[in-house]
Amino acid sequence: MKTLLTISLLFLQFTGCLGQQPELDFTQIRLKGLAFNSTRSAIEQAFGQPRSTIEPNYDCGYFSAREQGKKFEQLRYDQVVFIGNPEDGYSIESVVFNDNGTLALQYGKYKLNQHTTWEDFLEIFGQEAQTKQDDSGDGRTRVLLLSRESEDGLMFSFRHGRLYKVAYWSPC
């Protein structure tokens, strides 16, 4: 009986922790009015022609041509990179915020940009996000938040307590 009680308590504690993990909802993400996944024409309407277009040739992950059996291209702009193809559409791959920029990533009702502090981030995604952080010790902190619907997510990078980059992440 004592063993059953112990196992039950451990199960409840573990499942309680699972319910508290911060998760991303990609449908809540907007950049200049664009959804996280958009068409090339919508991206070019919002950002103009890309500065360059390349095939990234990733070894693994969701945008690996070898793993997925199809080609992908990056649409590169000064602060933003989109990745995808005409058939599947294009996703935000990375956004870099600079001190003078006006670019902001919208997450639901929240605006994420170079003015977003670590404390703001924790208010948006919950204190549990602290358990996901990787602090390099040089004033840089990274936090990976996974999607509710899939195995991919976004890596949020902070420098001296302020957000400076958001990048797409998928497992290899």
pLDDT in tens, 95-110: 999 888 889 999 999 9
Q: Region 133-161: what's the mean pLDDT?
A: 88
Percent of the chain with pLDDT over 90: 72
Helical segments of the chain, H only = 2-19, 40-47, 65-68, 118-125
pLDDT at 20 over 70: no
pTM of the model: 0.84
Phi/psi for 40 (5° steps) reads -60, -40
